[in-house]
Amino acid sequence: MKSEGFGFWARIALLFLVRSGRSTASLSIMMISAVAALIFLSALAVGVNDAMLRNTVGLFSGHITGYGISPSVQPEDFKVKGVEGVLKRVYIPGILSHGRLDRPMTLCGIDPRSETNLTALRKKMVSGGYPQNGRAELMISKTLAQEFDVQMGAALVFVSEQPRTALKLTVSGIYQTQIDPLRRDIVFCPLNVMPARDLPWSAAVFLQRGRAVQEILDAYGQKWSHQYRFESWETRMPDLRQLIDLEYISMGIVIILVFGVVAVGIACAFVIFILKNIREYGIMKAMGVTQREMSLLIVMKVGLMNVMACGVGLLMGVAAVWAVIGSGGIDLTAFTSYNRYFSVSGVIYPRLTAFSLWAPPVTAFLFSLISALWPAALLARRQPADIIRMI
Amino acid sequence: MIQLEAVTKVFQSGRGEIRALDNVSLSVEASRFVAVMGKSGSGKSTLLNCIGGLESPDKGTVTCFGTPINSLTARELSLFQRRHVGFVFQQGNLLSYLSVAQNIGFPLSLNGIGGSRRSKRIDELLDRIGLPAVAKALPHELSSGETQRVAIARAIAHNPKMVLADEPTANLDTATGQQAVGLMRDMGRDHGCTIILATHDNEITEIADTVFGLKDGRIYKEED
């Protein structure tokens, strides 16, 4: 006669879980909270990195910078799929002076309206605003304003050799930032008051959320046959790349440690859960349940509980992430105000990735299955009479 | 026939070596109702465990219906037990998370008896033990007497060749105990099943076909 198979043992395991309600519930709560917390933690780590990148490239530079672009090419020509916007900037080196004081400086010609739409430098204004198109106006940093001892409306002179020109510009806006090049080396005026219009320009390319930089670089390579040089933020800011990598590594270590602690807790709880009913396993063994069937039953119990608990934990973790995003993120401004990687905003939005979704439940599941091995081996090794005598 | 030849079982404990069975030899004819008498610690449970393969003897052989059970592999022993052996324990030991009907149906499922055949057999056994109304009840909802009756039904459900009952009346009052043993004897007789029952209740010996007396791990009397 053929005995019952997989379905029978699954039904027995389910009955055990349902009718051991309190034990199942308390163990499930532990699993659910562990999985949910780990999903949230993983999403938060991704969110911190996103915030650093968003802050760094969003303030001014963009994700990709293109160099030496011909004046005949327009910013729209770089708008491929995945690009949110492209800013045209013309840089002229020269000397900025006020009264007897002068300093080497780069004058950057910008389109104020596009800049306002795409960059976050506007949020750093402490006086006035962006220079207006067609007006000989200048936007400078607070550091420079203090060095030159000038206020809004003051006139400064910019002199350059190439092209040979002298421009008198009125301060229309003062911004404050901790980014050194923006503090000391650059000032901004509208493109259409620049001394020369036919200079090669630089492109600041801003990508849509979640777009891979390499994907856009590849598209540019194909479109422009490598006519222009493009650099990603990773090349321009290796320190940020490294910081993000370090952040991932340290967060990974933290998550593994948390996994470890949680997994040991889950494993111990599962061992207790199984051993609590060890006498009944002895009874079953006496009734002729084979070692293989016994192991299958234990794995089924652990597996079914894990599937249920991990599923609920996954949903709760995702719900927690959405709740935080919905409530406007986690504002760490008070702790990040002096950090240049959070120069625009200290708000963190946790982000779910495939890794943060599968790693916690899968790890919890695997550790639980491993934890079932010891009781299963114990039951397999012991004779039924020994098991029945145990409790 | 069940045969034990020179079976010895020794346990090591904090109190030193305990010789639970000491060179025990006996034979039991098929379809007999056998009582094993003895005081607590005389080796009755160990004897039943060795016969049913719940533990293996240190020395000697146990042969049940031509099968030398202490030389079977673990899997072969399990398959032998599920097909040919039924156990009744002192406290009933029903599986707590299965209903009465599911407990009785468990050995049937193990033996591949499913569907309407299983349901019919469960109903038949519930009627026989006088508990048709408790099919869906859980073990903790039963009295001790009811638990033991369900345990007897479970032990006999798959028509095993032998039922081993280890002090099944120990937790019951005299009347309920006698009812349970009577039920076991009758059901065993109906199916031609050999029943070996460990007890220290003298009244049970009166209805047994054979009585073995056990003291300090040795058989000291055998009465038919």
Residue A184: phi and psi, rounded to 5, are: -120, -25
Pick from B49, B80, B93: which is nearest to A385 by CB? B49
Would you say A34 and A28 are in contact if contact means Cβ atoms under 8 Å apart? no
Give pLDDT, residue A209.
79
Per-residue confidence (pLDDT) for residue A344, from 0 to 100: 67
Q: Distance (Å, rounded) from C-alpha B25 to C-alpha A238?
A: 85
Residues of chain B with C-beta less than 8 angstroms from the C-beta of A284:
95
A27 min Cα distance to partner chain B (Å) = 17
- Of A2, A15, A291, nearest to B74 by CB-CB distance is A291
Which residues of chain A are modeled with pLDDT < 70? Answer: 1-4, 197, 259, 336-340, 343-344, 391
pLDDT of residue A171: 95
Q: Kindly state whether residue B45 falls inside one of the protein's structural domains.
A: no
Mean pLDDT of B10-16: 85
- pLDDT reported for residue A383: 85
B126 assigned to some structural domain: yes
Mean pLDDT of B67-83: 93
In a domain, B61, yes or no: no
Query: Is B13 inside a domain boundary?
Result: no
Q: Is the ipTM of this complex over 0.85?
A: yes
**pLDDT of B104 higher than 70:** yes
Contacts of B96 in chain A (CB under 8 A): 19, 277, 280
Q: Which residues contact A3 (CB under 8 A, 6 or more apart)?
A: A293, B82, B109, B110, B111, B112
What pLDDT score does B36 carry? 94
* Average pLDDT of the segment spanning B123-145: 92
Number of structural domains in chain B: 1
pLDDT the model gives residue A261: 80
- pLDDT computed for residue A343 by the predictor: 67
Say whether B10 sits in a helix, a strand or coil.
Answer: strand
Supply the pLDDT for residue A276.
Answer: 80
Residue B65 lies in a domain: no
Closest CA to A133 of A87, A201, A192: A192
List the domain range (segments joined by +) for residue B204.
31-39+73-223
pTM: 0.72
Domain CATH number, residue B134: 3.40.50.300
Contacting residues of B for A285, CB less than 8 Å apart: 78
- Mean per-residue pLDDT, B18-32: 91
Please check whether residue B110 lies inside any domain of the structure: yes
DSSP designation for A340 = G
Is B21 domain-assigned? no
Task: Report pLDDT for B70.
Answer: 87
User: Does residue B50 belong to any structural domain of this protein?
Assistant: no
SS3 letters across B49-87: HHHHCCCCCCEEEEEECCEEHHHCCHHHHHHHHHHHEEE
Identity at A293, one-letter amino acid code: E
Cβ separation B82–A16 shorter than 8 A? no
